[in-house]
Amino acid sequence: MSLVVRGGHVVGPGGLCRADVLMEDGIVQALSRHGTPSGRGVDAGGCLVFPGLIDTHVHMGFEAGGVLSTDDFASGSRAAAFGGVTTLIDYALPMRGETLAAALHSRRAAAEGRCHVDYGLHVILPPYRYNQPIEIVQCLETGATSFKLFTIYPDLRLGAGELFEAMSWIVRAGGLALVHAEDAEFVESRTRVLVEQGATGADGHLASRPAVAEAMAVARVLHLQAETGCPVHFVHISSGTAAQLIGEAKARGADVSWETCPHYLVLDAAVCRRADAHRYLVSPAIKTREDRAALWAALQGGELDTVATDHCPFTAAQKDAGRDDFTRVPTGLPGVETTLPLLYTEWQDRGLDLGRLAVVTSQTPAQRFGLYPRKGIVAPGSDADLVVYDPGTRGVIRAEALHMNVDWSPYEGRSYRGSVRAVVSRGRVLIEDGTWCGEEPGGTYLPRGSAVRAVAQGG
Ligand SMILES: [Zn+2]
């Protein structure tokens, strides 16, 4: 089956290039600047053609504090496609007594035949299963090459010695450690103080996990990284202090990379003053204006590696159950569908290079998570995953017009530039003229290779 995306400007690390993209059986065959013969085609005239976004941090049907997030693989992957995301990486969490391989198997079973875009899986190493070197090697053999380590949450967190042990096994097996970095002791003891003081509003959540809590955990993990040599990718970094610490480690040559999320780039602590501030609770907390500025500086300076969403939606009613008590609000935000319009708009407002947008949302995620060059670039031999983005339109974000299985948006009423016109996933047209035209879910499990060494420069 052949397909041509005609007349667009393909976005790559070097910038824009006017070309038709010729695809055959789900693979890009050529980029042609001289027109193409007729055939099944998608019109991209006047549009940008991005490599499909790779969202390396999503939670479909994830239980947080006894509450289940509302998107499953079917609804979440369809919404992802509407946002131009053609690859998702979710998580497998072993239950007590379950092997890592069994956890991977059951998570794949949940996604199989339901996911509209391609997907991979990270493996969470909880305190009851972090120390299984043979199982870690087995995960790598099946293409699950990245392992999530938590420094916080009573059920998930590893102590420093356990982190050291897990990182030692991961590096020996050739894997990548993903780290959620917040200092549990700080957050838990500060939460007790705030609750005693009656400071249980949304600003209490931020006060319980400020930048210093993130920085303390990042510093501890960087020490362990230096000691073990384990490649580390910090997920959802939210503060300037943590970004600076990681930048210094990179400058020393450490194999570390980091992600931030659209909500830390677009929102700041001003959301605490909203009447519905509790709905914005996410961990790590959304930080100050200065932190937001520091994240943008790192992005512009080439120090930030990836943007991913940590997509974990809860309905307004689920959030509202903890309206006056931040300790009872399920933390997490919807986001998998809105990354591209939000970032494209910021990019235009800030006059940034579009090539860099493709690098942080697709190329570097593919490289760091062992998918490059199959994913992450529009080039001959790569999977035919692309987004046709029409820069000439404007819109306003309305939850009711989005496709995520959630009834509110943290970006409600925000205007954005451009819109997703068409999305192609391994040669299948999922969206054309902004309308869903996908059929049976055709996403496939992606066995991944080893992480390319962190490429973004230190500060
Ligand atoms: Zn997460």
Rounded Cα distance between 118 and 425, Å, is 8
Ligand 1 center–CA 65 separation, angstroms:
13
Ligand 1 center–CA 374 separation, angstroms:
25
Ligand 1 center–CA 57 separation, angstroms:
6
- In sequence order, the β-bridge partners of residue 301 are none
Q: Residue 141's pLDDT is what? A: 96
Q: Residue 58's pLDDT is what? A: 98
Rounded Cα distance between 84 and 431, Å, is 9
H/E element, 81? helix 73-82
User: Which of these, 2, 43, 3, 38, lies nearest to 422 by C-alpha position?
Assistant: 43
Q: Where are the domains of the chain?
A: 2-50+378-391+417-436, 53-368
- Where does 2-50+378-391+417-436 sit in CATH, by number? 2.30.40.10
Ligand 1 center–CA 151 separation, angstroms:
13
Ligand 1 center–CA 333 separation, angstroms:
10
Q: Residue 267's pLDDT is what? A: 98
Please list the pLDDT of the chain residue by residue as tens digits (459 residues): 899 999 999 999 889 999 999 999 999 999 998 877 777 899 999 999 999 999 999 999 988 778 899 999 999 999 999 999 999 999 999 999 999 999 999 999 999 999 999 999 999 999 999 999 999 999 999 999 999 999 999 999 999 999 999 999 999 999 999 999 999 999 999 999 999 999 999 999 999 999 999 999 999 999 999 999 999 999 999 999 999 999 999 999 999 999 999 999 999 999 999 999 999 999 999 999 999 999 999 999 999 999 999 999 999 999 999 899 999 999 999 999 999 999 999 999 999 999 999 999 999 999 999 999 999 999 999 999 999 999 999 999 999 999 999 999 999 999 999 999 999 999 999 999 999 998 899 999 999 998 887 655 543
Give the CATH number of domain 53-368; options: 3.30.420.40, 3.20.20.140, 1.10.357.10, 3.40.50.10800: 3.20.20.140
End-to-end distance of the chain based on CA atoms, in angstroms?
A: 47
User: Which of these, 317, 320, 315, lies nearest to 277 by C-alpha position?
Assistant: 320
Give the chain's radius of gyration (CA, Å).
Answer: 21
